[in-house]
Structure 1
Amino acid sequence: MKTTEFETSKFLYDDFFTVKLHLIVVEPFFVDATRKQIIVPLSDLRRDFGGLLESGEGADVTFKIDEEAFSAHRYVLAARSPVFKVQLLGSMMESKMDTIFIEDMRADVFKIMLQFIYTDMLPSEVEVSIEIAQHLLVAANRYGLERLRLICEKKLCDSLDVESAATTLVLAKQHNCGQRKDICIDFVASRDVLDGIMETDGFKHLMSSTPVLLKEILDKLKSWWKI
């Protein structure tokens, strides 16, 4: 439109004009990162491997303890435990066996250990008592499960009391748990609990099985008396 035509048109009023637009808004080609984000779900690895153990699908080895049987997968166990790796994939007789008998271990403890191997955590539906933690520590040490061993150590140290202290100390000595042994000796040598600990069956077992610990307790008492 020419300027002269525009100036004489009905759309111009007092040197102003209005433009009316009709807009159609479509989905933009970009995403505003402050408003929309891609949500990454938590890892399903524990759930998937836990389900694999529970279903027994593809299991190629069975462990028997007393009257109970547990199906498992050789390569999963070998990947998690250096002891199982030698036992199940090495030259040992068990590598050729479909059924392996486990001795000197409770069935409920072995079941919890298996669940830990597959999921890297203790089962939430099981209450891990002091007694179970003691047995699990022995099992973890037996199969080279360092993380499980440390979890059990922490559980036992956090739960130290007069009744369990001496037994926990003996376990720490027998399984080379240096840090836990030091914590137990500090607890046992405390002036306000030592008399009570000495009356327990655990302390009697300590004196008969590992009398060397008595010297360590006395050395700790001497060091505190000097202070």
Structure 2
Amino acid sequence: MSIEFLEVTPKIPSPKCSIINDIQSVIEGNDEFQNVTLLVGPRDSREEIKANKMMLMARSPVFAVMFQSEMVEKATSTVEITDISTNEFKILLKFIYTDDKPDLNDLKTIEDVIIDADKYQIIRLKNLCENQLLTNYLSIENAGHLLAFADQYDLKFKNYVIERF
């Protein structure tokens, strides 16, 4: 008795992967998963933003240290962030949740988000913004400024700026 195996190519379609959207909707839509309070912005105009501690820890080594060591943030589940605007932090938080490349429309915002990404060691966001800076904003008029900025925040494109100009 012999057994024959048929070669079959699967024809059953699979839905597109939706894990990022699923995680985001669960975290944003359920207060139970928003287990940390972020007090963002200057003290006179700060905004309270709820977030998910696990997502912050998974995406930022700085947040991981905050919540894993014996720092006040671990005990209170509250983080004061006074040196970032609310708008910038929402860009950072959206990236933390979705990994989507931010659509930033001006040089100042891109520079600010690079500074924030550097502070929280979110390297992928920093690199994405750096590429956007290089692609859309580098010119002869601002090459000196961007070179100094690149040097200050250890951006990889500083060598490109030196070679090009």
Query: Normalised by the size of structure 1, how large is the TM-score?
Result: 0.61
In the alignment, residue 111 of structure 2 is paired with which amino acid?
Q
CA shift for structure 1 position 163:
4.3
Match of 2:83 in 1: 104
Matched pairs, number: 154
Matches within 5 A, 1:21-40: 33=9, 37-40=11-14
Q: 1:133 to 1:52 in 2, by over 3 A?
A: farther
Q: 1:107-132, CA deviations, whole angstroms, 9 ceiling, x for partnerless residues?
A: 11110100101111135xx5442221
Match of 2:36 in 1: 61
Match of 1:50 in 2: 24
Q: Do the aligned residues in 2 keep the contact of 1:74 with 1:89 (CA within 8 Å)?
A: no
Equivalent position SS for 1:43: coil
In the alignment, residue 165 of structure 1 is paired with which amino acid?
A
Structure number with greater Rg is: 1
CA distance in 1, matches of 2:163, 2:79: 41
**Structure 1 consecutive aligned stretches of length 4 or more whose deviation exceeds 3 Å:** 30-33
Q: Does 1:174 align with 2:152?
A: yes
CA shift for structure 1 position 176:
1.5
Q: 1:163 to 1:51 in 2, by over 3 A?
A: farther
Q: 1:104 to 1:118 in 2, by over 3 A?
A: same
Q: 1:155-203, CA deviations, whole angstroms, 9 ceiling, x for partnerless residues?
A: 11112124443332222111122x311122234xx3xxxxxxxxxxxxx
CA shift for structure 1 position 75:
1.2
Query: Normalised by the size of structure 2, how large is the TM-score?
Result: 0.82
Match of 1:88 in 2: 67
Q: Does 1:78 align with 2:53?
A: no
Match of 2:3 in 1: none
Percent identical pairs in the alignment equals 30
Match of 1:118 in 2: 97
